Each structure stands twice: as C-alpha cells, then as structure tokens.
C-alpha cells in the first residue's frame, strides 16, 4: 500500500486525536515528535512503527492496553493490514522498583504496591482547550455552572493588566512637549555658545488612582461573587505595578470599605473576610444614600490626582432618584472619569429605563457591560487606552 507524506501526517494527527478520545493524554508536542520519528524508521516495518508510536505518544504505564487497542482499531480501520495483531499484545513489563515520575510525564505520581492495584485517576486532556476557553469567555456569569465559574476565576487572574497613566507636574528629560532652555544653554558651552541642539523635556507619567464601588444587593447576587474576584485580582495586580491608591467599596443599604481586605494574597481568605465584613449582602439597594456617604466621608481622601471611579451596579434603586442624581453629579465633578459597569447591558434588547439609571445617566462618562470574561477584557483594554491628560 502506498501512502504519501501528507496522507501519513494527516493520519498521525487523526491517530493522536483518537487516543485523546480513548482517555490517553497526548500533547501536540508528542504528536510532532512521533511525526519526526517516522522519518527515522521504515514505516513499512510494523514493529518499528508500533514502538515508535508507543515510545513517543504513551506516558502512563497503565494506558498500555488502551493504547494497543486504539492503535489496532485505528490503523486496521485505515486498511493497513500489515500491522500484525501479535505485536499489539506484548507481555506486560514488571513494575519498576523506583516509581518516581519522569520529567515531562503527565499525571504520574509515586505509588505504593497497594495503590498500583487501584484504578488510575482520570487525567484531563488540556491539549485542545482554546475553543473551550473562547466559549467560556462569551458565556454570561449568571449562566455558568460551578465548574465553569471556577475555570473563569482562573482565567480572570491570568488577565494582562496595565494601569491607565496620568501626566504629573514633574518634568523629565526627553520627549517633545516643551523646550528645556536651561539645559540647551548649558550644552551650548561646549560649542562656544552656539545652540547646536535644542534639548527638550516632558511631564512624567504615573498610574492613576482607581476607586471601585460594587453593588452587592439582592439583584446583583448572581454576579457579586465573580465581581469580587475581579476586584481582588485587579487590586493585587495594580498594587504590584505601582498603583498605591486602589480603593474598593461595596454598597447595598450602607457603604463598606474593603480595600485592606482585598489586598490579602489568598483569595479565599480575602473573600471570607469580605463576607464577614459586609453586613448588607444580598439586601436592598439605596445607591443615592451610599454615594452620599462616600462623597461625605471618602471622596476627599481617595479622589485626588485624577482618580478613575468604577461603579458596578445594575441600577435598581429603592431610594429617591433626586438624591442619586445630585450625588452622581457631585461624584462626577470630583473624579477624572466616571465609568458605570452594568451586567444587564450585555442582555440583548436591554434598555436602561430604571429610575436609578435614568437619574444617573447624564453624569456617566462611560456606560459599559460587565456580564462575562470578554467584557472584563474589553474593560481592561478601555482603561489602558485612556488619554493621560
């Protein structure tokens, strides 16, 4: 039987895929190694072909029987009858005395003689997870299962965060913003007073302070825990990158500062402490009264130096809309930019028609969704692209 190189490579990829379906872990790197190994042997030698596949694609001793059966079914299905059946039923090797895992071996752990008789633990194949990740990024937080929420949290902590910058009053050498005459004249002394080159300077740039106000009322219960994970990851990364002023608050019927709590490196310890600290979790919503408390007690402390304010809420409010409008106007005038993040904005056909949002909309600079991982990535990108002045 004549097999072309392109056909053989396509069969190799399909064989690796069939092994994954059988529960055997095969990475793309192992598949590429198997393809290269075929160039070093005679592919018409059934024994060499089988052992080349086994030595490059098999990493678990307990998968030998499954591998042999999958090999026999796949290659005989393609009509390659030259592979004799007796090659696929080799005498099992005796157990090794030193069961230490080899470098690069997937899912292998040291076992005792008693443990070796038990069924092997299932191994999750993560070789083809790109499309699953993309699907997860588009799925709404309120529609995720517990396993999907856990996977989303891991992806959340892997986001690339770059804090938005602001221009300070301090100057540094370089740039093209303004002439540095003093330095230019000093340099001219080397050339008998001739201004051969004009020196310039520009303003230094530093990360902007960021203030987040998260709604933890009953209507936000489906999103609140994931958004607290977002605030925890955001606070940790920004602090590591030099943003000292990252302030986080929760509100429902009262305002609670959770900044110090979210700076704990352990997310479980931080969220457990937040649960004990926030007394109005999953209760009512009085956004106007909570913003009044913030403007009265915290605005002067945390809104200096061109701070950004993120209000995370669906806009359902039991308070007076006149109070909310007044406090929103006051807050908007105190910060560089006021961004309202609404998880309902990602719902098709949604209109911000609640009393609270109607009162707040005239004072919102950016109205953005925050219902899935993709919207969080877009938020991070939008913050990075803010102009520094």
Q: What are the pLDDT digits (tens) for 319-328?
A: 999 999 999 9
What are the pLDDT digits (tens) for 66-109? Answer: 888 888 888 776 655 444 443 344 334 444 444 444 443 444 44
- Local structure of residue 4 (DSSP, 8 states): -
- If one compares 110 and 224, the residue with the highest pLDDT of the two is 224
**354-385 as b/e: b if 16+ CB within 10 A:** bebbebbeebbeeebbbbbbebbeebbeebee
- Pick the range with the lowest mean pLDDT from 22-36, 157-171, 233-247: 233-247
pLDDT exceeds 80 at position 283? yes
In CATH, which superfamily holds the domain spanning 208-385?
von Willebrand factor, type A domain (3.40.50.410)
Using the Cα atoms of residue 367, residue 372, residue 374 and residue 377 in order, give the sign of their dihedral: positive
Q: List the beta bridge partners of residue 256.
A: 250
Question: Which pLDDT value is given to residue 312?
Answer: 95
Alpha-carbon span 139 to 24, nearest angstrom? 29
Cβ atoms of 13 and 5 within 8 Å: the answer is no
Task: Please choose, from the candidates 182, 178, 166, 229, the residue with its C-alpha nearest in 3D space to the C-alpha of residue 202.
Answer: 178
**55-91 as b/e: b if 16+ CB within 10 A:** ebbbbbbebeeebbebbbebbeeeebeebeeeebeee
Question: Which pLDDT value is given to residue 78?
Answer: 60
Q: How confident is the model at residue 158 (pLDDT cuts 50, 70, 90)?
A: confident
Average pLDDT, rounded, for the chain: 80
Q: How confident is the model at residue 9 (pLDDT cuts 50, 70, 90)?
A: confident
pLDDT exceeds 70 at position 113? no
Report percent pLDDT > 90 for the chain. Answer: 27
Q: Is 192 left (phi over 0), alpha (psi -120 to 50) or beta?
A: left
Please name the residue that has the structure tokens 């999958």. Answer: 70
**Domain-by-domain residue ranges, the chain?**
8-87, 169-205, 208-385
Q: What is the mean pLDDT of residues 360-370?
A: 94
| Other Cβ atoms closer than 10 A to 262 | 24
- Pick the range with the lowest mean pLDDT from 12-26, 45-59, 129-143: 129-143
What pTM value is reported for the model?
0.62
Q: What is the mean pLDDT of residues 222-245?
A: 78
- If one compares 130 and 357, the residue with the highest pLDDT of the two is 357
pLDDT exceeds 60 at position 223? yes
- Pick the range with the lowest mean pLDDT from 42-56, 80-94, 289-303, 317-331: 80-94
| Other Cβ atoms closer than 10 A to 191 | 10
Which positions ≥6 away from 357 have C-beta within 8 Å?
315, 342
pLDDT exceeds 70 at position 126? no
Q: How confident is the model at residue 386 (pLDDT cuts 50, 70, 90)?
A: confident
Question: Which pLDDT value is given to residue 344?
Answer: 92
Q: List the beta bridge partners of residue 311.
A: 213, 340
| Other Cβ atoms closer than 10 A to 190 | 9
Cβ atoms of 19 and 26 within 8 Å: the answer is yes
Please name the residue that has the structure tokens 């999750």. Answer: 124
């Amino acid at each position: 039987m004549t097999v072309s190189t392109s056909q053989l490579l396509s069969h190799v990829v399909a064989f690796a895929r069939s092994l994954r379906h059988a529960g055997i872990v095969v990475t793309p790197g192992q598949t590429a190694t198997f393809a290269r190994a075929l160039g070093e042997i005679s592919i018409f030698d059934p024994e060499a072909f089988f052992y080349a596949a086994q030595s490059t694609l098999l990493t678990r001793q307990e998968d030998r029987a499954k591998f042999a059966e999958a090999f026999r079914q796949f290659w005989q299905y393609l009509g390659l009858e030259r592979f004799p059946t007796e090659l696929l039923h080799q005498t099992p090797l005796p157990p090794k005395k030193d069961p230490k895992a080899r470098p690069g071996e997937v899912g292998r752990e040291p076992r005792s003689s008693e443990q070796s008789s038990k069924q092997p633990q299932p191994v999750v194949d993560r070789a083809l997870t790109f499309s699953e990740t993309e699907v997860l990024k588009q799925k709404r937080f309120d529609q995720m299962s517990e396993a999907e929420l856990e996977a989303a949290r891991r992806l959340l902590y892997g986001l690339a965060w770059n804090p938005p910058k602001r221009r300070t009053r301090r100057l540094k050498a370089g740039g093209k913003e303004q002439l540095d005459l003093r330095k230019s004249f000093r340099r001219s002394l080397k050339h008998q007073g001739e201004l051969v080159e004009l020196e310039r300077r520009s303003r230094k740039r530093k990360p902007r302070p960021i203030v987040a106000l998260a709604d933890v009322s009953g209507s936000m219960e489906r999103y609140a825990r994931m958004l607290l994970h977002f605030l925890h990851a955001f606070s940790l990364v920004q602090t590591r990158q030099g943003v000292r002023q990252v302030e986080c608050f929760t509100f429902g019927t009262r305002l609670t500062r959770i900044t110090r709590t979210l700076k704990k490196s352990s997310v479980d310890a931080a969220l457990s402490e937040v649960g004990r600290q926030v007394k109005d979790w999953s209760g009512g919503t009085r956004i106007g009264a909570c913003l009044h408390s913030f403007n009265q007690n915290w605005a002067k402390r945390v809104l200096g130096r061109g701070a950004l304010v993120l209000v995370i809420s669906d806009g359902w409010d039991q308070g007076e809309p006149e109070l909310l409008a007044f406090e929103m106007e006051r807050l908007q005038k105190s910060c560089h930019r006021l961004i309202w993040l609404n998880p309902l904005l990602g719902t098709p056909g949604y209109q911000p028609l609640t009393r609270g949002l109607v009162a707040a909309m005239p004072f919102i600079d950016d109205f953005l969704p925050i219902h899935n991982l993709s919207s969080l990535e877009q938020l991070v990108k939008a913050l990075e692209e803010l102009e520094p002045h």
